Amino acid sequence: MIHPHIYTNGHICLSIIYDDWSPALGVEAVCHSMISMMSSAKEKEPPADNEMHLDAGQSGSAKKVNALLGSC
């Protein structure tokens, strides 16, 4: 999926699952926010800083797979 708030490494840029997280938020609220975010994208493109996040937190084998897929 290509979306301006979803990185190719699987990270999702959504404030309520990071900085704005609160134990008062239920699963329903998080899912609703994710659905709303995904349906509101006007452009189908990766985040502008996607390359910076691509290697973050990946193992050596995951980096190799991404390198191979990126060269296709």
- Catalytic residue numbers read 13
Task: Provide the 10 A C-beta neighbour count for residue 6.
Answer: 20
Length of the chain: 72
